[in-house]
Structure 1
Amino acid sequence: MPALKHKAETRKLYFNSLLQAIKFCILEKKSVRSTAQEYGIDKNTLRRNIKKVEENYDDIAIVEDDELLEFLRMCSRKTPCNMIFTPSQEKDLVDYILKYVDHYHGLTLGEVKQLAFQFANKLKLKYFSSWDDDATAGPKWCRLFMKRHPELTLRHPEQISLNRVKAFSKPIVEKYFSNLGNLLEKHLFGCNAIYNMAECGFSAVPSKMGKVIVLNQGIRKVASVETLERGTMLTMALTVNAYGNSIPSFFLFPRKEMETGNCLDNVLDGTVGLANESGLMGQPEFVQYLWHFIRFVNPSLERPVLLLLDSHTSHLSVEALDIASENGIHILSFPPYCRHKLNPLEVSVFGSLENYFISECSTWSTKNDNKVFKIQNIPELVCAALDSALMPKTIKMGFTATGIAPYNPNIFSDTDFANYSNPFEDNESEQQTRIILVDAAKKDDHDGEVFIYHSSISDEIDPLQDLALKRVKRKLSKKILPNKATSPSKRHKANDSLPLEEDFCIICLSLLPTNMTSINSTKCSICQLPVHLKCATETSFTCKICEHLEDGNKDKFNYLLKT
């Protein structure tokens, strides 16, 4: 360790001396040889770095020393001789990819390779000829790029609804933390008095299974025996507190009438189960849950507790609120569609709980061959999974990550509140909500396509502009572009609207035939509008409007008014 520390300090002193020598040569106009001898630096090294600094900076007198030191360190790193992008260009590429992740649009490896190819074309760099075959970078470049930047890694994205992304805004979260802070300040709740309840569903057939070991060659698909083709969902209400403790679970079975006592074998003491038609939490079931909560927590007006839960309508009945107020239970709900970041159980417990439950289901299937897995077996396996998932450290991490205990209203940064904006959707607002592809999107209808204009200088070399335009055309083609395979009469009947411009002859202004062929119709060679063949002077012709525009008149509308 001391040797490594000494080496780091030596390199720091070396770059400081190199920077001072470069400034001495450029600003004071001193010779390279005498300056290299004065600072103890090799003259060829000094001359090479002076050349790099002069190529990248016009005037180093106005550049900060930290930026110049970072540039010198970057230039000193060894890079492959066949490297396509410079280190600074690759840094811009990495920042671009990370911005996509911050805006809930992570790129796959294939999209990163397309991005690299378009980036190289925009910058007019030399790359391998094999990249032109599929308009993507090669797999070797992608592998080395990921190796050079260990901060990038592959992850399976978690699906988040658009409502959650849009609802998690700074004003809403600030209002929630203001209410939470007022309650904590007024009642002085400790960690053992702050509870969180959340509901989670479990299926008789898990949606995903763990990996199994098979022969490396010859087997592509591996099957797993399941007793049912489609599982039945069961709901569990789990409650924990900020001290790391939990109370027994509360299960809801999707049955109209059933004896839940037979379904609660081999579970934790105190576990309760109810049955209703849907198997979901309703207002009557939430009242029963509150009595279950009071039984184990024992709150009172002298010892009040805080219960955090989502804002579902099942939690807002008058009877439930009366029971809570009479027993010293202060209820605070999370903002709608924000529980994925504000609910401690959603953040730290439910993910690992699902994995442990899948493992328990796999173990049960192995030990109970040729037996049908029923919904009555789920509570037993869930309780077994809870023994591994409900660790005090894991529960505390959830309360800490959400800023509840300890209380931290600034737990989320501005990047967490990045407003979602889809560049391929209509957006008439001039507010810059997503700066990756579009700074200020303006729409202009032209021949059934939507074009996006970029106003910032940085977006002029945006490597995904062409890709964005292609995606816009492909997505909006069904809504904007006319359906050429459908006849005019069928279009009118299906849309129940007036005829389109393409259904009339632009010369005689009468309807065109239902089936337009080369025998009865033709098109203008410029605007491609159809006309009757008998109205056209020849097979290949140009209409008067296009001829007038070719003469220099750009105002088509004024010309139509005059004619």
Structure 2
Amino acid sequence: MVRNYKKKTSRGDWSEESMKDAVKNVVEGKIGYKLAAKSFSVPQTTLERKVKLARESLDKNDPMTVKFKVPLGPKEKVFTDNEEEELCKYIIDMESRLYGLTMKDLRGLVYRLAVKNNKRHPFNNEKEEAGKDWALGFLKRHPELSIRQPESTSSARAAGFNKQVVDQFFNFLGNVYDEHHLTPDRIYNCDETGISVVPKTKSKIVARKGRKQVGAITSAERGTTITVEICFSASGNFMPPMMVYPRKRMDAQLMINAAPGAWGVCSDSGWMTSELFLDWFKKFVKFSGATPEHSVLLLLDGHSTHTKNIDLINEARTHGVIILCFPPHTTHRLQVADVAYMRPLSTYYDHQIMAWLRSNPGMTVTVRQVAEIFGKAFIQASTMSTAVNGFKKCGIWPYDPTVFSETDFAPSLMTDIQLNVSDAPASDNSSLIMESSSTEPATNNNQNAPIISEAISVAATLTDAAVTPVTVETETLSRLDTAASISASTSLSTNLVTALTVLPNSMSTPEPGCSYWLDNSDLNERPRTPQQSIFGVVSPQQIMPFPATTKTSRSTRKRGKTAVITSSPYKNELEETIKKKEQAEEDK
């Protein structure tokens, strides 16, 4: 079949509005066929046929309902324009939930839609899928769709980045801004990244067309990892980096020609440790000029070297540094360094590695050249515009808690599970405790704030949750903020939980798996979707439902959370945890 057919005649190019006006003038007797055809630029024979149909309609005392414009040829569209719009919206919804359809999935879905809705179609009944030409034509009719190569996103990040958790983080951030009246030069973000003599990112090169594989020289198959601590402010001020080498003793030659102000330290593994981060933090205090009267905000991830470091918390409280950690599995959208800085830094580092190899043919990059090469890349990537735009994109500065749309939170809908109302205690004032996606349920001793005992954490369902299609209509559960009478230590342990959707008790729990094609019996028994579908019998969502998890038992492992870790309640809680751990070690 010709996929890019070009019309060779002017047949059917006349305007439908012009034909309507011509028919009206002829029927009313104002002008004849020949003059009407010439005046309105329509074919005379077609005009005569339309006038005949119009007069027959008038003789029957029916309104003049003539179909003026008909498509050329015997082919008709399988689906109406509205049906295709609904299908297009469904495809976009699936992609926003990180379960996008492949071309084969789309063709199979379209075939099932046509069959179940009793549509006349030219599709292949043996393969049970629409043709490639139909699929390509569908993409042309809907330019908002395109074929893309998806990036891998973990289930933890998909579920962890949800509206409740992000809203809580911005509430903490807003409270810090209101209390300390911070300016951009007093807001910092720090993060670690790993570099190697073999760069992770490879830039595209110009090569001969048709080659199946294109190579580029590297220093080794696998390189030694060196950790670098990066920190910069919302005003574009970059702190010199700290480089952590996997060594027992530091060699001054490793830092020859490094970035201005950079320094090197050692650890057994080359990773960041609590002691090394505390040493870095002391230099950060001097760099930022933090004092109790001139507070500084430091944003960082919830790594144990940050959140479980009591010496760090004491040092920060002494010098007026407020430390706010991001919620778990959200740094890919909230942490400025991950969003705006690390990718260009990695790209520039690859460019500098390739430039060094070209300048030194036959030689390989070792850890002794890394500081010099990385220093050049650091200077290139560390621009004021990168820092300012990164803070803006994350909504941190200027403060914008609405920077993320509902589409950004769509992947977390997979883990929405509704609490079984029959299992909840009967109470007119029952409410949901909003827990962080990575925390233990806190014990509330206040009897004036009734809480549903079964609070479910999003992150607890990630490892063992079964991805199962669910289309049962859910009722909106009211959510109440945690009562003001909850103690400070309890409120810091009590974060947000996503609203969850459970399979009804009458349905058997299916085997774990992704969305699947439904049998005819499944379609007959499946209830209609909450929103009325334009498709007469079966909608796309009924054939391939949105993936959703079932309710699972929550893990007993204590997980991280977003919190101001320099606050007194958090500090007291951490000290109590450390004390219990030491006591348990002594009892052994």
Alignment of 1:180-329 (within 5 A): 180-217=173-210, 219-259=211-251, 261-316=252-307, 317-329=309-321
8 Å Cα contact 2:244/2:272 also seen in 1: yes
* Aligned counterpart in structure 1 of residue 112 of structure 2, from 105, 114, 118: 118
Are the counterparts in 2 of residues 324 and 330 from structure 1 also a CA contact under 8 Å?
A: yes
Decide whether the 8 Å contact of 2:259 with 2:378 is kept in 1: no
- How far apart in 2 are the matches of 1:172 and 1:287? 28
| 3-state SS of 1:224 partner | coil
User: What is the CA-CA distance between 1:95 and the residue it aligns to?
Assistant: 0.5
Match of 2:100 in 1: 106
Shift of 1:84: 4.2
| Local SS of the residue matching 2:467 | coil
Alignment correspondent of 2:538:
461
Tell me how far 1:292 sits from its aligned partner. 2.3
- Whether 1:93 and 2:157 are equivalent positions in the alignment is no
The alignment status of 1:444 with 2:521, answered yes or no, reads no
Normalised by the length of structure 1, the TM-score is: 0.63
Alpha-carbon distance between aligned partners in 1 of 2:88 and 2:180, rounded to the nearest angstrom: 48
1:461 partner SS: coil
Query: Within 5 Å, which residues of 2 pair with 1:1-80?
Result: none
- Of all paired residues, the percent bearing the same amino acid is 28
Residue of structure 1 in register with 2:372 after alignment:
380
User: Equivalent residue for 1:425?
Assistant: 467
Query: Which letter does structure 1 place at the counterpart of 2:159?
Result: K
Specify whether residues 188 and 32 from structure 1 end up closer, same or farther in structure 2 by C-alpha distance, changes over 3 A only. Answer: farther
Match of 2:558 in 1: none
Within 2, Cα distance between the matches of 1:266 and 1:448?
A: 55
Contact 1:227 1:372 in 2 (8 A): yes
| Partner of residue 332 from structure 2, selected from 334, 340, 359 | 340
Shift of 1:427: 8.2
Structure 1 position 172 matched with structure 2 position 168: no
1:367 Cα deviation (Å)? 2.7
**In structure 1, how many angstroms separate the alpha carbons of the residues matched to 2:245 and 2:468?**
44
Is the 2:87–2:540 Cα contact (8 Å) retained in structure 1?
no
Cα 1:336–1:240 change in 2 (3 A) is same
1:415 and 2:407 aligned: yes
Distance 1:161-1:327 versus aligned 2 partners, 3 A rule: same
Whether contact under 8 Å (1:208, 1:358) holds in the other structure is yes
- The answer on whether the counterparts of 1:195 and 1:307 sit within 8 Å (CA) in structure 2 is yes
More displaced 10-residue stretch of structure 1: 458-467 or 371-380: 458-467
CA 98–224 in structure 1, closer or farther in 2 if over 3 Å, else same: same
Alpha-carbon offset, residue 148 of structure 1: 2.9
Decide whether the 8 Å contact of 2:470 with 2:503 is kept in 1. Answer: no
Indicate yes or no: 2:124 matched with 1:139.
no
Return closer, same or farther for 1:31/1:325 CA change in 2, 3 Å cut-off.
Answer: farther
Q: TM-score, normalised by structure 2?
A: 0.60
* Structure-2 change in CA distance of 1:33 and 1:279 (3 Å): farther
Q: Unaligned 5+ residue runs, structure 2?
A: 1-14, 32-39, 55-68, 416-464, 476-500, 550-588
Cα distance change, pair 140–268 in 1 and its aligned pair in 2 (3 A): same
Give the Cα separation in 1 of the matches to 2:368 and 2:73: 61
Unaligned regions of 5+ residues in structure 1, if any?
Answer: 1-13, 22-29, 52-74, 473-563
Tell me if the contact between 1:439 and 1:454 (Cα under 8 Å) persists in the aligned partners.
no
| 1:391-402 paired onto structure 2 within 5 Å | 391-402=383-394
1:366-406 deviations in Å (ceiling 9; x for gaps): 33222122233333333323333333222222211221111
Deviation at 1:206, TM superposition (A): 3.0
SS state at 1:421 partner: helix
Corresponding residue SS for 2:226: strand
Corresponding residue for 1:148? Answer: 141
> Is the aligned partner of 1:403 residue 2:398?
no
**SS in structure 1 of the partner of residue 378 of structure 2:** helix
**Amino acid of the structure 2 residue aligned with 1:267:** A
8 Å CA contact 2:97, 2:413 repeated in 1: yes
Tell me the secondary structure at the aligned position of residue 332 of structure 1.
strand
Q: Give 1:306 deviation, angstroms.
A: 0.7
Provide closer, same or farther for how the CA distance between residues 407 and 153 of structure 1 changes in structure 2, counting only shifts above 3 A.
Answer: same
**CA-to-partner distance for each residue in 1:135-190, whole Å, 9 max, x for gaps?**
44333333333333222233332322212222222222222111111110111101
Q: Is the 8 A contact 2:471 2:545 kept in 1?
A: no
Number of aligned residues: 415
Residues 229-277 of structure 1: CA deviation (Å, up to 9, x unaligned) = 2222222111111112211112212223331x32222222111221101
Amino acid at match of 2:89: D
Q: Deviations over 1:179-218 (max 9, x none)?
A: 111110111101111111111222332345233333334x
1:248 partner SS: strand
Deviation at 1:332, TM superposition (A): 0.9
* Counterpart amino acid of residue 116 in structure 1: V
- CA 1:85–1:446 in structure 2 vs 1: closer, same or farther (change >3 Å)? closer
Asked if 1 retains the 8 angstrom alpha-carbon contact of 2:468 and 2:510, the reply is: no
Cross-structure match for 1:67: none
Q: Distance in 2 between matches of 1:445 and 1:326?
A: 54
Structure 2: which amino acid aligns with 1:357? Y
Are the aligned partners of 1:196 and 1:307 in contact in 2 as well (CA < 8 Å)?
A: yes
Shift of 1:432: 5.0
Secondary structure at the counterpart of residue 343 of structure 2: helix
In the alignment, is the contact (CA less than 8 A) between 2:184 and 2:235 conserved in 1?
yes
Residues 91 and 100 in structure 2, CA contact (< 8 A), matched pair in contact too: yes
- Answer whether contact 2:162 2:409 (CA < 8 A) is retained: yes
Give the whole-Å Cα distance in 1 for the aligned partners of 2:265 and 2:216: 32
TM-aligned CA distance change 1:138 to 1:428, over 3 Å: closer
* Matching residue within 159, 168, 171 for 2:152: 159
Paired with 1:327 and 1:373, the residues of 2 have a C-alpha distance of: 41
Q: Deviations over 1:112-152 (max 9, x none)?
A: 333333333333434445x4454443333333333332222
One-letter amino acid of the structure 2 residue matched with residue 394 of structure 1: T
SS in 1 for 2:204: coil
Higher RCO (CA 8 Å, separation ≥ 6 residues) = 2
Amino acid of the structure 1 residue aligned with 2:152: Q
1:377 to 1:431, Cα distance in 2 relative to 1, 3 A: farther
Q: Find the structure with the greater CA-based Rg.
A: 1
What residue is the counterpart of 1:554 in the other structure? none
Contact preservation (8 Å) 1:170, 1:417: yes
